Structure 1
């Protein structure tokens, strides 16, 4: 399990979680929300040629196959695993429904199978929903050979109502080797695309360079 890479050099990893629960799918079907795929984030990263790593849930991939293909088709983007349906792997995890311990490995393996056909820069990186994990959850995933990645810089973008606090949350804590946690789930993280240009500018001012997660963790 890792929170960050070596504190040498200048590389940092920008990671974006793509959550998707049954409740979120129901909101889409009912028209209560427009989208859980923030294409403005992709537009900016592509335009600025910024590397990033996306932690995808299987249900998000199935809901947004075209967006997944777009991510997989960018050589600067990496794909990682964020469970199949963003259920909790421990008790008391942000009111998320909990999966039984004997289903955890199957859930993660299924997600890798969903992502695999899209190709691109796929990894064995995995992030728990809500970063909630315990010894039992880690033991359950050990046979899969995943690297569990939390992060040391939490943007706080879920359900944020203003972009400036997100910029401060990132730039006040980012260091060489940092793993920054953000979300690409537009309706649940509506300020991320507004904060991102300012985050990128702040990284440049600090001499920090976004890089794929694999490079940040191994450099």
Structure 2
């Protein structure tokens, strides 16, 4: 149990670190965070919707802008939006995520990286990306607050480097949406991070 206690303590340190607002402490990649990151597990799922991304689907892609090896449609092979399947969990990809990751690991934070097909502006300029925390009323206050802290870290790190122009995404509150459903069902602090510049349908 000593190892579990150490992991929990590191988790509390990470929570405290995410609560800091000063620029000097916003970067988890700084040398001062090296010992913290050695005790934190980071799990990457590089491509949740592999069939849709590669265009290996059971429907026509004639109206899609993506060319070459990747069509990057939001739908899976069955033409289902996987980001609206987190309650019913009818699709094999969604079931695999919940059974093999969300129920198998004690996840504290999750960032959902998406392509942003919509166009929005902040201060008159088109954003290069948008972020949003859980907005369903079924999430308790603690995961929402942690999600907002995570969003603050992402926003300040991207904004201060000049790599992007980030805004707030105008998203829905349904539990079928990944950031809402995962937060409501598992108490995970989640953050949607959408980025423009990839291909999608017209």
TM-score > 0.5 by shorter chain? no
Bigger-Rg structure (1/2): 2
Structure showing the higher helix proportion among its residues: 1
Q: How high is the TM-score relative to the length of structure 1? A: 0.29
